[in-house]
Amino acid sequence: MNELRYLPLRAGTNIPAVRNWPGLASADPAVLERWREEFPRCNWGVLTGHGIGVLDIDTKGDAYGFGGFDSLIRITELLSLDLSNLPLVETYSGAHLYFAYEGSLPSKVPWLPHLDVKADGGHQVAGPGTIRDGDHGERTYRLTRGSLNEIPLAPKALLTAIRGWRVPALSSGSAGGGTAVELPKVDWLREHGFRLGQRDNGFNALVWKLTRTHYPHMDLVHRISYEVWLQTDNPPGDPFPWAKVEQQIERAKNSIGPEIETQLNWAKRIGGDHE
């Protein structure tokens, strides 16, 4: 079992406090104590790679679902995985699952919606004890299951999927053609909608982003889009009918759906072979 190596992070963040952190990360208590004095109130990161990986589950930015937990449930069901023996750290907005592996394993950010893989060349905010600042104040990470001194090997099917499967990264731009638009946060759009001149490209970008995030739950895509449409400028002389948004949703589903279904079928084949 490889020994965990740590690096200092800026207080309240996940940003390394030292340059060349991949080469400087250490398990030496004397080095860690020196950093503790040099960087008061620093957080700590774990160097990933060298046989240590982390599934980083997040729920930020997914006000309508369970974020990375939904992705984790889907992948464990598709591949018939049992991850109950992996050490679990509760974080500010999700969880970290630690696992061991042999050979090389790429980091993938993201790997699945709201679910990152931190492995070769990466680092992960350490727990327990780390403090993160957030919308509702500080929260301390805590180990809720297992031991970080005894990290078990990940199931072979999980490692195979990480090495070969990646859902395309989400984009706030206009994936379906037209002029790209920088989307505000969905919660903001639910309250304010789009203004005149933003509606066509704005809804196009929004429904593609929602479809990539929530497919196959298209009822959720429709509900969120409808909430935004209700707050959107829609004067009698320049209407933007709901039917037009529905057409954009249908185009996004027809384009993105087969792509994701192909990935899901690929994962199912892995699940059938993992024994």
pLDDT at 14: 83
Q: Report yes or no: 54 and 153 within 8 Å, Cβ to Cβ.
A: no
Q: Cα–Cα distance between 110 and 59 in angstroms, integer?
A: 13
**What are the two backbone dihedrals, phi and then psi, of residue 131, each rounded to the nearest 5 degrees?**
-115, 130
Q: Report yes or no: 21 and 7 within 8 Å, Cβ to Cβ.
A: yes
pLDDT digits (tens, 9 = 90+) for 99-110: 999 999 999 888
Q: Report yes or no: 93 and 133 within 8 Å, Cβ to Cβ.
A: no
| Mean pLDDT calculated for residue range 87-115 | 89
pLDDT at 255: 80
pLDDT digits (tens, 9 = 90+) for 70-86: 888 888 888 888 999 99
> Which residues in the chain are classed under CATH 3.30.2250?
6-164
- Given its phi and psi angles, is residue 42 left (phi above 0), alpha (psi -120 to 50 degrees) or beta? beta
pLDDT digits (tens, 9 = 90+) for 215-226: 888 999 999 999
pTM above 0.85, yes or no: no
pLDDT at 76: 87
pLDDT above 60 (res 254): yes
Q: Cα–Cα distance between 205 and 248 in angstroms, integer?
A: 9
pLDDT digits (tens, 9 = 90+) for 145-174: 999 999 999 999 999 989 886 544 433 333
**What are the two backbone dihedrals, phi and then psi, of residue 85, each rounded to the nearest 5 degrees?**
-95, -5
Class for the domain spanning 6-164:
alpha beta
pLDDT at 238: 87
Cβ atoms < 10 Å from Cβ of 143: 16
Q: How confident is the model at residue 68 (pLDDT cuts 50, 70, 90)?
A: confident
Q: Cα–Cα distance between 83 and 98 in angstroms, integer?
A: 10
Q: Cα–Cα distance between 10 and 195 in angstroms, integer?
A: 39
